[in-house]
Amino acid sequence: MAQKIKVAPFWGCMIPLKYPQMELSVRKTVGPIGVELVDLDGFTCCPDPIYFKARDKMQWLTIAARNLCIGEEAGLDIITMCSGCTSTLQEARFMLAEDEELKNKVNERLQRIGKEYKGTGNVKHIVV
């Protein structure tokens, strides 16, 4: 039997509370297609890709990077079920990869909680 691909599910804030049937269906269907979900502690809201980002883009980016760090620290890529979470985490990855100065500013903030964003993980929506 082929080895399963291990990924960290990022449920975000809406899936467990508003759409638990989606979480359950993902948990029941990915195993047979060779994917193992590894639940990680510490994820929070992505944060919201519209309202939060419009209010304070640097804080939005720092929170997104903190979530990305959790996957990186475990050596796992992240899969999402919510298009908003996918948008936030992918945009944060892109922005931090394209702008070293911005990445350094975010890492200064993350350093306060003992984290560093390196850009080593990937994020994909469950359907990709």
pLDDT level of residue 1 (50, 70, 90 thresholds) = low
* 96 within domain boundaries: yes
**Chain-wide mean pLDDT for the chain?**
95
* 84 within domain boundaries: yes
* 123 within domain boundaries: no
* 125 within domain boundaries: no
pLDDT, residue 79, reads 97
Cis peptide bond N-terminal to 47, omega within 30: yes
- Which of 51-55, 91-95, 104-108, 123-127 has the least mean pLDDT? 51-55
pLDDT, residue 54, reads 83
The total of structural domains in the chain comes to 1
d(Cα 60, Cα 31) in Å, to the nearest integer? 33
Determine the 3-state secondary structure of 118 from DSSP. Answer: coil
Provide the token pair at 98. Answer: 């394209």
Domain with 95, as residue range(s), is 43-117
* 25 within domain boundaries: no
pLDDT, residue 90, reads 97
- pTM of the predicted structure, to 2 decimals: 0.93
CATH number of the domain where residue 104 is located = 1.20.1050.140
pLDDT, residue 49, reads 83
* 31 within domain boundaries: no
C-beta atoms surrounding 107 within 10 Å: 17
Residue-wise pLDDT for 13-36, tens only, equals: 999 999 999 999 999 999 999 999
pLDDT, residue 128, reads 78
Whether 9 has a pLDDT exceeding 90, the answer reads yes
